Amino acid sequence: MLRGFVADSLTAEALPYANVLIKELNRGATTDSRGFFVMASLPNRRLTVVISYIGYRSKQFIVDVEPYIVTDLRALLSSTNIEMKTIEATGSRVAKENATDLSLQRIAMRDLENLPKGVELDIFRSLQTLPGVQTGGDVSARFYVRGSPSNENLVLLDNTTIYNPYHALGIFSAIDPDMISSMEFYKGGFPADYTHRLSSVLKVVTKDGNKNSFGGKAAISLLTAKLLLEGPIPSGSFIISGRKNYSDVILKKFRNNNSIPADFYDLFAKVNYSDNEFMQDAKFAVSFFKSGDKILNDNPRREDFTWDNSTFAFNYFQVSDSPLFYQLDLSYSTFNGEKIPNFSGAKGLKNELSDFTMRVDFNYVYDSKDELAGGFKITEVHTDLILENFRGQATNTSTRGVNVSAYAKYKILRSPIFGADIGARAHATRFAGGGSSVFIEPKTSFTLRFIPEVALKGSWGIYMQDIVTVSDENEVVSIFEPWIITPLYLDPSNAIHYIGGLEITPTSNLSFNIESYYKIMHNLAIVNDQKFFESDRDLISGSGKSYGIEFEMKYMFNPFRFSGSYAWMRAFKDVRGKVYSPRYDSRNNINLSLEAELGGGWVASAVWSYTSGLPFTQIAGYYDRLTIDQLSDNQFLLDSYNPFVLLGEINTGQLPDYHRLDLSLSKKIQINRLKMYIDLSVLNVYNRNNLFYFRRDNGERVNMLPFLPSVNFKVEL
Amino acid sequence: MKKLIFMLFVTTIIITSLACDDQVNPKTDFRELYALNCVIKGDTSLQVATISRAYDVNGFDPLSNTADPFIKGAKIKLTYHGTGEVFFFRDTTLIRTDNSRYTSPMSYYYIKNFRPTYESPVSIEAVLPNGKVLSAKSTVLFISRFAIENRSYTIPSTTTGKYLGFSWTAATPSVKDEKIYYVPELIIKYAKIQGGTPIELQKKVPLYYISGENGEFPLYPSIQSNITSVNFDTLTIRRSLEEISAGDANKQNYIIRNAVFRLIITDKNLAVYYAAQKTFLDEFSVRVTQPEFTNINGGLGIFGTLNSTYINVPIKPEYIVKYGYKAF
């Protein structure tokens, strides 16, 4: 058995998704998000291992594989400055031969750094260029995946759930990209390892910090200033990063030049420890993340807002002498959000959530190359919600509950042309105190590679979600979405995914990917817009379905890298017997991106995005509405009427198409160890008036971002 | 070079055309709807109802509509289930004081012989000239004037100098699922002498004043179902008295009569309608629909009930004189 760890030679930072190829056998593997790989059932002889990674020089290693002995390989790759010209995809096709990775996008941060950053490089906005991922517009980083609302996306930071990872009205992500090593994003059909959401999983893996020398980064944009420090400690490393906004000049552009008195920060710290004398072949990390936002008006007639996320995580990873590795994660995550109405007339809102989770996962590799994985997860969640809806009706809930689940899955990988992942997770759930229910989530996916250039893929699974947000789809901008455990009067939401795909890779630098999906959702928790009285329920049950097809093409030709995608989809919701398209049902999406390494540290890129118009509810007329100013006024029935808008059928209108071109030019300057990055971006180059919404009272257009130049500057030591 | 200039020209044309707005109509087909409004009051035998129709305008300014939407000729029937009595509204018109939108007299309906005398369900049905039917149900509620704590109230307060407090006994409606909502009010009644003739006026006293960026603003009691007392700050009462003659040096032109504490109660339909029209989301959230509540089957509007009780609150003459006003 061969196992190994692939890392950067300078920092010893793990390199996720690096390609590992055994030359003599033409057999490959890919490192996981920890930079770790295992290859079992190898012949007992001397073998040549080639390890390659984009932006790094490939390296060749000679290893002797002996019976009953685990051969360890620690591969350190050297970064190259001229990145695109040294791309070597050696082994990547071999590694992917039978991988069951339908709907999975693995994203190393290096892949994102060359794209137009806009105001800030933002991980959620970068997802929105993927086919099947829809945005609510320039003014929100929230994302909608394959016709599902944003609260059905699971965001994990080092295996810890983050419940509201947004800054400043949801315009930016709260996760600073500089602290990220890699991301895995499942648009659907995710395996049994993941649970608690219906639609997608975004797994963010943070950096460990430089294990060899102390270093730091300082960066400034038109919105924030940030600092990152990293360095070695005995048998480990640390990383600390912090970011704080200092101006609302840019934020105004997101809100029709209206001021947003927003103040936000985020902070991340992580310590890693790995000492073979203390714990052989083990590594553990302790990390802390905190993000905080405030919108404070210096005026009692206006409402104030505060919200914050905090996480504390302990991750322990152990490799044993047999082809077995396992991981223990303990995490504590909180979210607190409050709208303080003061004397504004707005309605108050307070949401508190705490989540304590323990999960254990193991993975065993058989000699046949098949793998067995399993684990269990215990989650205790407590939610408090106090709110008044816009009709003045109050909700006050406090719920605590425990979810216990266990999963097992078997990966058939023995055949080079066929791979399958068959698994299931069983839940004893119903967070709400007093209630309980059992739910099974069976999941399976397969890959069949007819010929080396073509693979047919499929996936099916049932998914469950028992914690939901009380968020109203009619709000095109909402400050934060309050979370509650699914109330006892509703069954947990569930969804069935059917996904099929075709992967075609005619050459090593050209690939096509086609995926089609059909998703059925039951027991969706929908905000009750007919809650007129306190006794009326906050949530009602609805159902939905979505289907679509996605095409993606990637082509690399030095010094360019091109990717293009087209997605067609339909989404429907059925609430109280009324079927309608949700606000994020976008029929056609096109994303084109082109990057060019121009040499001398210059990188240029362009991204063009197109989305067909989103549904909206049209005006169907007006009526003079009785407006009671004072109940003691004897005459109000005769003289107190004001015009009021009558709305047509929900979301039967269509906004104009959205499209936008962004350009970016970056320059990297290196003087010894000092690296400087200057990035100039222009958003909406041709100043397209993309419509955000119509004001009901006067029909006024409210547009999204105008032509917006921006500059980022980063210094790295 | 010519080729490059041509390509730049073409690119500029394409980019400029891409930047144009697309035309989209925020409106759909007109929706014909009718609104019935009727609030049954327990302190009068004159009950009023109105019916109006929806309309459309060119553009997005509904104020540009000048065609009177209030309709006549409907048959409105009110049933008071407590006694089984049925009342039929008569239609009439009222000369408008504000002719800025509609110049024709306003059509409305009335009955003048129905003053509910005890708690009971009540229902209304309107048959429009085109045969359309609007209907609704509600509950007439009562609260005894003796529900207000029976003690001597005066301004200034004799019990505490800091505030003037009122309390009352909460009532539980006998009608199932009904609830009483309260709106307390403190009103100063006064007269202003103009041309030798006293003109009777009143001033509503806020709970207190709040400092804002555009100066201070008053805060009045809101509608609530679970309150049984209210306190008016003495400083606020004093300020209200001062505001009666603000900017007028001749204080002797003002005669302060007395104050009245009024407790208004409503049924839950009227309470929700009243609260919904006074709420908004917040400054930053954007909602593409608007709060709307109706309990009218087949249309829009409100059918609710309202009742009130009050006690007089004398203002001590020596206190009035301090402001330069005349007493009584």
Reported as a single tens digit per residue, the pLDDT across B262-279 is: 999 999 899 888 887 766
The answer to whether A183 and A107 are in contact (CB under 8 A) is yes
For B134, the enclosing helix (H) or strand (E) is strand B133-140
Could you say which DSSP state residue A629 is in? S
pLDDT-derived band at A703, boundaries 50, 70, 90: confident
Contact B49 A655 (CB under 8 A): no
Cα separation of A677 and A681, whole Å?
13
Residues of chain A with CATH 2.40.170.20: 205-617+653-716
- State mean pLDDT over A647-655: 88
A466: Cα within 13 Å, side-chain hemisphere: 30
Do B288 and A617 lie within an 8 Å CB cutoff?
Answer: yes
Closest CA to A33 of A187, A214, A156, A198: A156
In the chain, the amino acid numbered A436 is: S
* Residues B126, B135 contacting (CB under 8 angstroms): yes
The reply to whether residue B54 touches residue A391, judged by beta carbons under 8 angstroms, is no
Q: Which of A295, A479, A637 sits opposite B37 (nearest CB)?
A: A637
Position A313 scores a pLDDT of 96
Contacts of A145 (CB under 8 A, 6+ apart): A132, A133, A134, A152, A153, A187, A188, A199, A200
Residue in the block written with tokens 């029209």: B277
Structure tokens at B11: 């690119």
Nearest to B167 by CA among B104, B111, B230: B230
Report the gap between the CA of A264 and the closest CA in chain B (Å): 16
As a whole number, mean pLDDT of residues A374-391 equals 85
* Residue bearing tokens 């215990």: A378
Residue B321: φ, ψ to 5°: -65, -30
Instruction: Taking residues A51-75, report their average pLDDT.
Output: 86
**pLDDT tens column, A449-464:** 988 899 999 999 999 9
Name the band, by pLDDT with cuts 50, 70 and 90, for residue A476: low
Which pair of structure tokens corresponds to residue A231? 């360095």
Chain A partners within 8 Å of B58 (Cβ): none
Chain B CA closest to residue A635: B48
For position A456, what pLDDT does the model report? 95
pLDDT tens per residue, range A505-548: 999 889 999 999 999 999 998 888 777 777 778 888 999 999 99
Say if residues A204 and A158 touch (Cβ distance below 8 Å). Answer: yes
Architecture of domain A2-90: Sandwich (2.60)
CA B146 – CA A407 distance, rounded (Å): 67
Q: What is the ipTM of this complex?
A: 0.87
Pick the CATH number of B32-96+103-140 from 3.40.50, 1.10.287, 3.30.1370, 2.60.40: 2.60.40
Say if residue A49 is exposed, middle or buried (CB neighbours under 10 Å; 0-12, 13-18, 19+): buried
How many other CB atoms sit within 10 Å of the CB of residue B279? 17
Q: How confident is the model at residue B15 (pLDDT cuts 50, 70, 90)?
A: low
A249 Cβ under 8 Å from any chain B Cβ = no
Instruction: Say whether A623 and B30 touch across the interface (CB within 8 A).
Output: no
Chain B residue with minimal CA distance to A302? Answer: B283
Mention the CATH class of domain B145-267+308-328.
mainly beta
Ranges in chain A annotated CATH 2.60.40.1120:
2-90
Residues A632, B219: C-beta atoms closer than 8 Å: no
- Whether residues B287 and A637 touch (CB distance < 8 A) is answered with no
Q: What is this structure's pTM?
A: 0.85
The neighbouring-strand residues paired with A458 are: A446, A500
How do the domains of chain B map onto residue ranges? 32-96+103-140, 145-267+308-328
Element (H, E) at B7: helix B2-18
Angle subtended at Cα B225 by Cα B239 and Cα A627, rounded to the nearest 5 degrees: 70
Q: For A471, which DSSP code?
A: -
| The domain made up of A205-617+653-716 is a member of CATH 3.40.50.2300 | no
Do A708 and A682 meet the contact criterion of CB atoms below 8 Å apart?
yes
Q: Which residues pair with A419 in a beta bridge?
A: A447
Q: Considering chain B, what is the average pLDDT of its residues?
A: 85
Please give the residue that has the higher pLDDT: either A162 or B119.
A162
Q: Does A709 reach chain B within 8 Å, measured CB to CB?
A: no
Mean pLDDT, residues B215-221 = 80
Q: Is the pLDDT score of A82 beyond 50? A: no
Q: Identical fold at B32-96+103-140 and B145-267+308-328?
A: yes
Q: Are strands A262-273 and A236-245 parallel, antiparallel or unpaired?
A: antiparallel
pLDDT at B79 over 90: yes
Q: Mind spelling out the 3-state secondary structure of A194-229?
A: CCCCCCEEEEEEECCCCCCCCEEEEEECCCEEEEEE
